[in-house]
């Protein structure tokens, strides 16, 4: 049997149209990612870098227009390979001039119908998702236990309601909900934020998905609850071992849970590779953006003294008016005189600089 990634995203592009600026923004702009079976791939980057739009594009959940305009999303389950963006080119017409998008027309209604047909049986079943706000993602009128039981009945081979209830209780135990028997009958609003996030995780796992996408699963929770959810995800990683795409702006969360990491900025992946190496504070070779992100993490002492470091200076890039060269150039502190012109004029490719580590930066190779 041939191995290979469970999920392979190739050259994904998702654009939006700003009426006020009468221009297209490139929220996700040529992203390539591959998830190997059983691994956790993290996506990290400041707010607005295109992490969530990448995830929503995979799930066919981008509703604003034009939305996904090109790419391939290969999903391999039970040895069967499918492209979730199959025939996208039939729905999109795009013209560009010198890298600027002049015109995009997309039959969005037709595309959405195509996606809904195509992704039936994938969304929630083969790919499950955990969001930042569990209360908004669960049905407020039904108990959490019932919702998990329904997910089991719908998405697994268990078709007997009693067995499905047992399975739902099993998952509530797996996520360490206190008194699962009692919690089973609670509605989401009867649970604390942390408990509700646990229930959401249980629901996602209960479908036995091939891929789990967790978008900021700890953001918005109190610090102590955050660290408990991170510990839980770490335990589930070794006990359940589900292939996971984990998105967070929090480097510590990504570092603790991910095997590999993609660092995103301005809709692009700037660095890709083993998360232990890339996200260590040791001064090894890394992209200047990654280095700046790491430097912006406050130390324990700074947190104690409430003297937070400033995040990276300058604003996150606007993907409507892109610079000609490197997207990080306006904020980069590592440009040398030797490469300045290159940085300004030409965007570097993502190239391998060490085994499995790729970087998009002129510091590491010649033009």
Residues binding ligand ADP (CB under 6 A): 16, 27, 45, 47-53, 64
Q: Is 288 in the site for ligand SF4 (CB under 6 A)?
A: yes
Among ligand ADP, ligand SF4, Mg ion, none, residue 326 binds (CB under 5-8 Å by kind): ligand SF4
- SS3 string, 89-128, reads HHCEEEEEECCEEEEEEECHHHHHHHHHHHHCCCECCCEE
* Closest among 291, 283, 286, 265 to 364, alpha carbons compared: 286
Output 90 or 341, the one with its CB closest to ligand SF4: 341
For ligand SF4, give the closer residue by CB, 5 or 323.
323
Total residues found in the chain within this entry: 367
**Distance spanning both ends of the chain, measured CA to CA:** 40
- Distance of closest approach, residue 19 Cβ to ligand SF4, in angstroms: 31
When the beta carbons of 133 and 334 are compared against ligand SF4, the nearer one is 334
- CB closer to ligand ADP, 137 vs 155: 137
Q: Is 361 in the site for ligand SF4 (CB under 6 A)?
A: yes
CA distances from 71 to 13, 115, 337, 347 (A): 6, 14, 36, 20
Binding of ligand SF4 by 291 (CB under 6 A): no
Select 211 or 214, whichever has its Cβ closest to Mg ion.
Answer: 214
Q: Across-strand partners of 262?
A: 43, 272
Return the number of the residue (52 or 218) whose C-beta is nearest Mg ion.
52
Q: What are the b/e assignments for 232-242, b being 16+ CB within 10 Å? A: bbeebbeeeeb
Residue 28's beta-bridge partner residues? 14
Smallest distance from the beta carbon of 255 to ligand SF4, in angstroms?
21
Q: How far is the CB of 218 from Mg ion (least distance, A)?
A: 13
52 binds Mg ion (CB under 5 A): yes
- Euclidean distance between CA atoms 170 and 163, whole angstroms: 10
Give the whole-angstrom CA distance, residue 50 versus residue 68.
12
Task: Concatenate the DSSP letters of all residues of 128-152 into one string.
Answer: EEE-S-HHHHS-TTS-HHHHHHHHH
Asked if 362 touches ligand SF4 (CB under 6 A), the answer is yes
| 343 binds, options ligand SF4, Mg ion, ligand ADP, none, Cβ within 5 to 8 A by partner type | ligand SF4
Instruction: Restricting to residues 296-355, name those near ligand SF4 by CB under 6 A.
Output: 326, 328-329, 332, 334-335, 339, 343, 348
Residue 113 beta carbon to Mg ion: minimum distance, rounded to whole angstroms: 27
β partners of residue 292 = none
265 binds ligand SF4 (CB under 6 A): no
* DSSP code, position 99: T
Binding site for Mg ion (CB under 5 A): 51-52
Binding site for ligand SF4 (CB under 6 A): 288, 326, 328-329, 332, 334-335, 339, 343, 348, 361-363
């Amino acid at each position: 049997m041939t191995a290979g990634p469970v999920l392979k995203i190739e050259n994904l592009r998702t654009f939006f149209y700003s009426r006020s600026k009468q221009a297209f923004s490139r929220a996700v702009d040529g992203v390539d990612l591959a998830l190997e079976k059983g691994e956790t791939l993290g996506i990290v980057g400041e707010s607005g870098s295109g992490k969530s739009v990448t995830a929503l594009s995979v799930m066919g959940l981008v509703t604003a227009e034009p939305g996904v305009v090109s790419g391939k999303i290969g999903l391999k389950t039970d040895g069967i390979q499918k492209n979730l963006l199959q025939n996208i080119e039939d729905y999109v017409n795009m013209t560009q001039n010198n890298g600027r998008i002049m015109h995009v027309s997309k039959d969005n209604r037709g595309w959405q119908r195509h996606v809904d047909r195509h992704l039936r049986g994938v969304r929630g079943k083969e790919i499950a998702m955990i969001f930042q706000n569990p209360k908004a993602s669960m049905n407020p009128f039904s108990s959490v236990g019932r919702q998990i039981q329904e997910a089991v009945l719908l998405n697994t081979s268990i078709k007997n309601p009693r067995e499905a209830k047992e399975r739902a209780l099993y998952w509530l135990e797996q996520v360490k909900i206190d008194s699962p028997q009692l919690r089973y009958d609670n509605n989401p609003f009867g649970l604390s934020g942390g408990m509700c996030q646990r229930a959401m995780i249980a629901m996602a796992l209960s479908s036995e998905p091939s891929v789990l996408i967790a978008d900021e699963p700890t953001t918005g929770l109190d610090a102590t609850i955050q660290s408990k959810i991170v510990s839980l995800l770490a335990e589930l990683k070794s006990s359940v071992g589900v292939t996971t795409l984990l998105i967070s702006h929090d480097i510590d969360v990504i570092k603790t849970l991910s095997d590999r990491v993609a660092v995103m900025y301005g809709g692009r992946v700037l660095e890709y590779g083993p998360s232990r190496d890339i996200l260590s504070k040791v001064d090894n070779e890394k992209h200047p953006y990654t280095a700046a992100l790491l430097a912006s993490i406050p130390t324990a002492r700074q947190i104690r003294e409430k003297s937070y470091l400033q995040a990276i200076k300058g604003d996150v890039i606007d993907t409507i008016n892109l610079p000609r060269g490197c997207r990080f150039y306006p904020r980069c502190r590592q440009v040398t005189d030797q490469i300045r012109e290159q940085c300004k004029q030409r965007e570097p490719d993502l190239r391998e600089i060490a085994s499995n580590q790729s970087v998009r930066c002129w510091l590491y190779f010649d033009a």
